[in-house]
Amino acid sequence: MKKILFLLVALTAAAFANEGEVANQTIKAYSMIAAGIGLGLAALGGAIGMGHTAAATIAGTARNPGLGAKLMTTMFIALAMIEAQVIYALVIALIALYANPYLG
């Protein structure tokens, strides 16, 4: 991981030193890498959060079966909020790919 980070930092100078179309291609390449990594991390975090939410709901229902319906409703609201964060990351990734503000 340190090697990849060092490589990206070392190649950043090349991205800003180039001019014209080469610089645009370099920025596009870095945008694709950033979008992929960012979206992957967002999906990973969302999946972990959803897993914890479902596990807590199942444990709560097992302890008190009478609250199962109320816990299920609360779980679905929490899952929608978690998924909204992943969708926001997708929107930012799409902006970075198709409407990149750094491509002057």
Q: Which CATH number fits the domain that encloses residue 28?
A: 1.20.20.10
Q: What is the pTM of this model?
A: 0.71
Say if 79 falls within a structural domain: yes
The number of distinct structural domains making up the chain is: 1
Buried b (16+ CB within 10 A) or exposed e, 1-19: eeeeeeeeeeeeeebeeee
Is 104 within a domain?
no
pLDDT at residue number 86: 94
DSSP state of 66: G
Quote the mean pLDDT of the chain: 86
Q: How far is it, in rounded angstroms, from Cα 52 to Cα 46?
A: 10
Res 95: pLDDT = 87
In a domain? residue 34: yes
DSSP secondary structure code for residue 19 in this structure:
-
Of 70 and 30, more confident:
70
Q: What is the pLDDT of residues 43-69, one digit of tens each?
A: 999 999 999 999 999 999 999 999 999
pLDDT at 18: 57
User: Which among 55, 41, 53, 51 has a CA at the least distance from the CA of 85?
Assistant: 41
pLDDT of residue 15: 60
Q: Which domain holds residue 44?
A: 2-98
**103 located within any domain:** no
